[in-house]
Structure 1
Amino acid sequence: MRIGQQVSRFTWPGSPASIGPTFASIARWSEAAGSESLWVMDHFWQIAQIGPPEEEMLEAYTTLGFAAGVTSRLELGAMVTAATVRNPALLVKTVTTLDVLSGGRAWLGIGAAWFEEENRGYGLDFPTTAERFVRLEDTLRLAKQMWAGDDSPFEGEGFTAPRPLNVPQPVRTPPILIGGVGERKTLRFVAKYADATNIFDGGPEFVAQKLGVLREHCDAEGRDYDSIRKTVLTRISLSERSGEKVPSGEEAMSVDQALDKVGALAAVGVDTAIIGMGNDTDEAAYELLGQLVEHAASI
């Protein structure tokens, strides 16, 4: 079991001046603890599951570029990019740029988008569900083409690009992770296009059921199910004092409790836990994160 970290909240004392230094510390601490990856949300407003829309939120790819500059090993991605927000060719160019400047550490995390109010607030179109999935599939197809060095005209179902030139090419072709649990389209797109799936932590039985659907889509597509990384986005706040309240209001876990949690996910086929920490600004938590990373590696 591999461990990554997601940062989904930037509401810290002394903002906005404190945001850059605090986030830089989180990235460095996470890397030193042995985290495999660091992820941020692709939102312009805070989401209701975490806080009010007026909370501080940063643009994802600028933030990932900043993280690349203060780390040397962490893999970097958006959990997950809204396919509707950016021109697909420009998105592929953006991820390529992150990969080049980070020395081959970028991921394309992507999904069909869901936060309509945020889009409307920014004056962005928010297409129908069917149209959003058309844009998602067009983007996935175009990414494959551009990262193959093919600048011939692209004709998608809803998007065209007369010459999607992508120079320089990435240092490493960015792996594609699709986030979401939709059984008819999202998981089918994982089987057809992606290197990884991300499922939110609805508990081991929920995750197992979704992975079973993914396996069926892999069989239908002729795809090797085992070639796809299975990641779960979950919440784990680590503390020496199990049960204490952390700044987010969540209860902290011991390392042993966290190992039980990720072990239950591993038992149903998950190979990577990407954790959000409600005390991610507490440097002491990263010593415990290092222990979790070390012990989880043997699960």
Structure 2
Amino acid sequence: MTIRLGYQIPNFSYGGSASEMFQAVLAQAQEAEAAGFDSVFVMDHFYQVSAVGAPDEPMLEAYTALGALAAATERVQLSPLVTGNTYRNPALLAKIVATLDVISGGRAVFAVGAGWFEQEHEGYGYEFGSFADRFERLAEALEIAIPMLRGERPTFHGKWYQAKDAINEPRLRDDVPVLIGGSGERKTFGLAAKHADHLNLVCGASELPHKLDVLHQRLLEADRDPETLEVSYFAQVIIDEDGERARQLLLDWFSRRGVDLQALSKAERLALTDRVFAGNPVEVSREVKTRVLDHGVDRLVINLVANGHEPGAVELAGKTLRPLLPE
């Protein structure tokens, strides 16, 4: 399956008990499937990220949650967006992804990034290292995990990781999609050009023309046809039938993070909302088309960070965005 419209669940701060919280997660996944989303993602974090909330807000372990979602859905692909490479040995990660693929009947996506959240590394005792260290680790990890997902038994001796005739059984298939997320023009794009089936761009919408030009150059340098790499854009959407309510939800969301959007200059507001799309369905549709799709990106992954847990919000987003994308 290809990824055309994905839905990411970015937080679990819904109030109530832990069991009630997961029921809200489950409801969103099922609503996304019914609304025409082809993929459902969760975050691979142990603490909530500062762009969404406070570090002590609820955060489920990604692959455990995805295993439960696999049993409660039938069609959507499932993955973290994206797996933090530093949190798991790459051979173990390949085993985890293959197991999710078996459980879900062939719906797992191997989505991975270098890792960036220093606070949770320190809190859980994982070595953080330098930016260069983390990308060296990711490059080595891909040399182990991808062959294992393809049915090979790699032996690898690197600076960071080792594997010897690593077996990965059972597997359901040899073509689990590989997704790399980010917008780093040298390292991320270079790894995507070499290894990925899909690149999820995480950047401001205003940066898209430049990022796509650089990505095209990296693909040419890797002697790869640009048509062979799917590219999606990651957007934060706040949608409601009432556009004014959507804009108030946007203000409230920033306010909870200590930011008064209305007190900022126009340039400051634009910088903070460059990948946010808030309004009613007509407004969101128009903004997504002009700010993203018209630049040549024809795939989307969204979250509904302010109101995705409200019944009907995911359905409304799917109804609004799906018609904008090619079949």
| TM-score, scaled relative to structure 1 | 0.94
1:57 and 2:33 equivalent? no
Query: What one-letter code is carried by the residue in structure 2 that aligns with 1:216?
Result: Q
Equivalent residue number for residue 234 of structure 1: 235
What is the SS of the residue equivalent to 1:113? coil
CA distance in 2, matches of 1:152, 1:218: 26
Equivalent residue number for residue 78 of structure 2: 76
**Residues 6 and 37 of structure 2 are in contact (CA less than 8 Å); yes or no, is this contact kept in structure 1?**
yes
Q: What is the CA distance between 1:108 and its match in structure 2?
A: 1.2
CA distance in 2, matches of 1:115, 1:258: 30
Equivalent residue number for residue 258 of structure 1: 284
Q: What is the CA distance between 1:149 and its match in structure 2?
A: 1.7
Point out the structure with the larger helix share. Answer: 2
Equivalent residue number for residue 106 of structure 1: 108
- Per-residue Cα deviation, 1:161-220 (whole angstroms, up to 9, x for no partner): 1121011123362211111111121111111111111112401x3022112111111101
What is the SS of the residue equivalent to 1:17? helix
After superposition, the CA RMSD in angstroms is 1.9
**Residues 183 and 213 of structure 1 are in contact (CA less than 8 Å); yes or no, is this contact kept in structure 2?**
yes
What is the SS of the residue equivalent to 1:222? coil
**Residues 47 and 56 of structure 2 are in contact (CA less than 8 Å); yes or no, is this contact kept in structure 1?**
yes
Q: What is the CA distance between 1:247 and its match in structure 2?
A: 8.5
Percent identical among aligned pairs is 37
CA distance in 2, matches of 1:248, 1:108: 35
Q: Following superposition of structure 1 onto structure 2, how do residues 1-299 of structure 1 map, counting pairs within 5 Å?
A: 2-171=4-173, 173-203=175-205, 205-244=206-245, 245-246=248-249, 249-250=252-253, 252-264=278-290, 265-277=292-304, 278-298=306-326
CA distance in 2, matches of 1:184, 1:168: 35
**Residues 147 and 170 of structure 1 are in contact (CA less than 8 Å); yes or no, is this contact kept in structure 2?**
no
Q: What is the CA distance between 1:2 and its match in structure 2?
A: 3.0
Q: Which runs of 4+ in 1 moved over 4 A?
A: none
Query: What one-letter code is carried by the residue in structure 1 that aligns with 2:168?
Result: N
Q: What is the CA distance between 1:134 and its match in structure 2?
A: 1.3
| TM-score, scaled relative to structure 2 | 0.86
Q: What is the CA distance between 1:151 and its match in structure 2?
A: 1.3
Equivalent residue number for residue 269 of structure 2: none
Q: What is the CA distance between 1:143 and its match in structure 2?
A: 2.3
More divergent stretch after superposition (144-153 vs 192-201): 144-153
Query: What one-letter code is carried by the residue in structure 2 that aligns with 1:255?
Result: P
What is the SS of the residue equivalent to 2:297? coil
Q: What is the CA distance between 1:157 and its match in structure 2?
A: 4.1
